[in-house]
Amino acid sequence: MLLTKNQKRFSLYFILILLVSYFSFFDDYFKYLEVKKIGTSEACKSYYSSFPNGYFTEDVKVLEIKYDRDIVLVRDFFKNYPKSEYAPIVELINLEIWNDEINRYDSIAQSNNRYDQNAVVFFKELLTYMRDNRESTVFMKLDGNVKVKDFHSYPDDIKDLMDLFYKYDDDRTVSGNIVNITSNYDKGSVENYEQIIKESIMNSFENLLSDKFISVETYNDFKSSKDDLVIYINYNIENEEDVIENYSLPTLWSYTINGDFESYLIGVSIIFNFSFQLPNNDYSFSLKTNALENISNIDGVKDGYKIMTQQNFQNFADGILTRFGIDKE
């Protein structure tokens, strides 16, 4: 039986394709063996560069996970190879990586003698939950109210009593010498104050563990889900007050320029409520914060209220980290 001209040509092409595929496979295979021999993440990256769609890519991914023990590589592997035969091996490495991080956190927390035992226990349970459910993100939702009131809104007997006190001590009344507090709060300024808490928690929790191990995101920026891990923080910004003989008197600050009195300001106090829930556990606490004793280097009355409020938010952020055994530095 004779071959036609076209049949001969087809046969030659087919043989050529087989030869190219044969040698290409062995190039891929020998590069894979090289990765196993060298045993470094750099060797793995060299393989990906040489064979972007290599036959042994999945195998090299597993080797890279063994070499680097990087949680991000583990997550990417489960995402890209959900039914891999290597899943048990990668799952074991995933477990070991998480347990190392949990033990590391426990060591850090125990070295800080100001931590709250319940908070530390909860955070370890959180990490265990995230490990077992392949979670990597904690969301944070802040919801606050501004309930400050100006001096003229206090009852007459309170104002009269304050005027009497300050007339005796400072030789001036409060009335007519105090700046309204309500005009110094708006939505934009409050959102800026909230950023203090967000950045403090996000940076501290994320830096507490290895790079990219967990992330903290603002909940409002994402679509909600009943399975989300969410930190809820509610707060009320109020006047700082002292109770004297059943009277709730506003705490006043004196604003001076070069030692000369300019006006009184009402102190700022914030009541924070922190809540974090897991399916079988939760951690919550409340904290009332005030500004520090003295505020210097301020640029105007509005700046005084701003710094008082910022100090309150920072005090609360520090309080959270202290409870979880995290050094704010």
Q: Is the pLDDT of residue 329 over 80?
A: no
Q: How far apart are CA 127 and CA 97, in angstroms?
A: 12
Across all residues in the chain, what is the average pLDDT?
84
pLDDT at 22: 45
pLDDT of 263 above 60: yes
Please answer whether residues 38 and 66 qualify as being in contact, where contact means their C-beta atoms are separated by less than 8 angstroms: no
Beta strands in the chain (DSSP E): 137-146, 215-218, 230-239, 241-244, 247-250, 252-257, 260-266, 268-278, 281-290
**CA–CA separation, 105 and 259 (whole Å):** 48
- Are 246 and 277 in contact by the 8 Å Cβ rule? The answer is no
CA separation (Å) from 67 to 5, 40, 56, 60, 184?
A: 55, 6, 17, 10, 56
Task: Give 302's pLDDT tier (boundaries 50, 70, 90).
Answer: confident
Asked whether residue 66 carries a pLDDT value surpassing 90, the answer given is yes
Tally of CB atoms within 10 A around 296: 5
CA atoms of 14 and 204, how far apart (whole Å): 61
Residues 62, 94: contact at Cβ < 8 Å? Answer: no
Tokens 């002292």, residue? 242
Q: What is the C-alpha separation between 86 and 58, in angstroms, rounded?
A: 9
- Which residues pair with residue 288 across a beta bridge? 271
Mean pLDDT of 189-213: 79
pLDDT digits (tens, 9 = 90+) for 226-241: 678 888 999 999 999 9
* pLDDT value, residue 188: 63
CB 140 within 8 A of CB 198: yes
pLDDT tens, position by position, 128-176? 999 999 898 888 888 888 899 999 999 999 999 999 989 988 899 999 9
Q: Which of 194, 193, 189 is nearest to 219 (CA)?
A: 194
Q: Is residue 50's pLDDT more than 80?
A: yes
Amino acid identity at 160: D
Tokens describing residue 3:
């071959």
DSSP states along 94-157? HHHHHHHHHHHHHHHHHT-TT--HHHHHHHHHHHHHHHHTT--EEEEEEEEEE----GGGS-HH
- Of 324, 74, 112, 45, give the one whose Cα is nearest residue 210: 74
- Lowest model confidence (mean pLDDT) among 42-51, 76-85, 221-230, 243-252: 221-230
Residue 104 CB contacts under 8 Å (≥ 6 apart), including other chains? 209
Give the position of tokens 């509005």: 302
For the segment 270-287, the average pLDDT, to the nearest whole number, is 91
The residue-averaged pLDDT of 313-322 equals 87
Rounded Cα–Cα distance for residues 304 and 264 (Å):
11
Of all residues in the chain, the percent with pLDDT exceeding 90 is 37
